[in-house]
Chains A and B, each alone.
Chain A
């Protein structure tokens, strides 16, 4: 009964195009955003901001970036971390070399740099199909990491390739406290999710899915394959690049190229598999899972007698559980947590009745 839709009709096509067709959904989103922007900064503590909320938001954004490319456009990528790295290092260099450039402008420019690199490695996608494409994205992964380590210029000749966050100031306000970093991240992530959700539901999103489901048919009805695929790489690269900049500067503070290695790419891929390929909400669910699950596991381990399970074993266990979950999700619920949520909502619509 919570989700009653009785009496809510779409009378214009525009009504049908809303994110949430039902009033409850729109009210829920407004309440959630209000709480996230106003309530959380008052209620949360530093641990929550720094260890849970900020990484959760940034990983959601990275998940969205990869999901647009893999979940929507069907181009499998194992190079997400490389594009994040480009975003982070480019943002750093724009801040460093163009003094006076506003922080948000640097982040956008960093995202655009990542988009450019992503397009470059996406070029082979016209000739290479399916999972052969992982070669191109793995090439990006290894090449970018190599170049950022090899050429000192990128990290301003820091001996270990480490870059440090510029002052986090936007429009004269300081965002360097944990709550401030949270708000800055939340603002950027919310704006990009609005954009990403719009894109996914626009004509371009439809074209991506068409290319994913059957590219010959897509070409035959006049969808330009090269442009559609390259735009998927570019936009995905932009989102990942911004996520990389946030990861480096609002979450970690300092980062080295090694922080964006292949296992980070896998992590992003796992977010979208667990959360749901081709789902906007799924990115949040998957990211929440990835952030919270290790915490949960280590908390459970502390309940056991001391020394019963050591940190190394905990890591192995975590790895195995992740692997099993990936396989389970692929077998049982290829559409991920987002699909489970959708089922729950359908139940809620009818509750307490069964039909």
Chain B
């Protein structure tokens, strides 16, 4: 395991009502890399993300994030520690505007209390300006300023995916978990989204763990690939190495393209 691992999972097992979703999975994600989780449907990829940021509590195993070790994360602690994520089926706040959605991503950066804000006293007005500034930067980065005031639920799918990424990015995360960020997109949109992910990784040094089905995208985007099958890990390494691993080919890729 590399010394500079930001995230390390050790022997994680998770089951629902006796059904094993993940068995004894261990891997490490180095600081600053893009790590892809691949595997057939039902392999436990999303469950694993849910374990990393505390939506699910595993029955067994250890999680080490940024030098802190615990048996299970809690969503709030994960967010405090700097983990942000997007979801497979977009989990935006549908009744709110794009700007408000992105601003929710910054709620941990606030210091003014709620009463201070309601009475518009003390730190609140200045802080409002700074939060707005930061949110505007994220909107500009992902090129969604024109839809700033649009209600999210009424936007097309591809844009919603980008807004969700913007909300995660607004939290200035150390680790970004992306659950199928390109699902349902056409080639052009995929290329654009890949570009955004690479830019985030390069410009802010954000470590990224993503789930993706498009092998082409995975191979070109990631520094590190972890392959899951039936809740077990069957491959782990740089893209080229994983591509040649016979067990991976058998379990997942099937015949060579």
Query: CB within 8 Å of B: which residues of A?
Result: 12-14, 16-17, 195, 198-199, 202-204, 206-207, 209-210, 212-214, 216-225, 231, 278
The listed residue (A17, A202, A216, A222) touching B114 by CB distance below 8 A is A202
Fill in one digit per residue for B67-103: 1 if any A CB lies within 8 Å of its CB, else 0. Answer: 0000000011011100011010001111110001001
Chain B positions within 8 Å of A207 at CB level: 104, 107
Q: CB-nearest residue of chain A relative to B136?
A: A13
B168 at the interface (CB under 8 A from A): yes
Contact, CB under 8 Å: A203 / B55: no
Contact, CB under 8 Å: A219 / B75: yes
A-B complex: 10 closest residue pairs judged by Cβ atoms? A222-B79, A217-B91, A213-B93, A202-B117, A219-B75, A204-B114, A222-B108, A13-B132, A199-B118, A198-B118
B171 at the interface (CB under 8 A from A): yes
Chain A positions within 8 Å of B76 at CB level: 219, 222, 224-225
The listed residue (A198, A220, A231) touching B120 by CB distance below 8 A is A198
Min CB distance B137 to A, Å, is 13
The listed residue (B78, B84, B87, B114) touching A203 by CB distance below 8 A is B114
B24 at the interface (CB under 8 A from A): no
**A-B pairs with beta carbons under 8 Å apart, 24 shown:** A12-B129, A13-B129, A16-B132, A198-B117, A198-B119, A203-B103, A203-B114, A206-B96, A206-B107, A209-B93, A209-B96, A213-B92, A213-B93, A214-B94, A216-B55, A218-B93, A219-B76, A220-B84, A221-B84, A221-B107, A221-B168, A222-B76, A231-B114, A278-B95
Contact, CB under 8 Å: B125 / A203: no
Q: A13-B132, A204-B118, A216-B55 are in contact. Are A221 and B125 (CB under 8 A)?
A: no
Chain A positions within 8 Å of B58 at CB level: none
Chain A positions within 8 Å of B87 at CB level: 217
Fill in one digit per residue for B42-79: 1 if any A CB lies within 8 Å of its CB, else 0. Answer: 00000000000101000000000000000000011011
Considering the chains assembled together, what is the distance between the CA atoms of A21 and B80 in angstroms?
35
Q: A203-B107, A206-B103 are in contact. Are A217 and B117 (CB under 8 A)?
A: no
B202 at the interface (CB under 8 A from A): no
Chain A positions within 8 Å of B125 at CB level: 14
Chain A positions within 8 Å of B129 at CB level: 12-14
Q: A214-B91, A219-B75, A222-B171 are in contact. Are A195 and B118 (CB under 8 A)?
A: yes
Min CB distance A107 to B, Å, is 18
Considering the chains assembled together, what is the distance between the CA atoms of A203 and B93 in angstroms?
14
Q: A213-B95, A214-B91 are in contact. Are A221 and B171 (CB under 8 A)?
A: yes
Contact, CB under 8 Å: A214 / B92: yes
Min CB distance A112 to B, Å, is 13
Min CB distance A15 to B, Å, is 11
Contact, CB under 8 Å: A212 / B114: no
Min CB distance A200 to B, Å, is 9
Q: CB-nearest residue of chain B relative to A219?
A: B75
A204, A206, A209, A223, most chain B CB atoms within 10 A: A206
Contact, CB under 8 Å: A210 / B104: yes
Min CB distance B90 to A, Å, is 9
B128 at the interface (CB under 8 A from A): yes
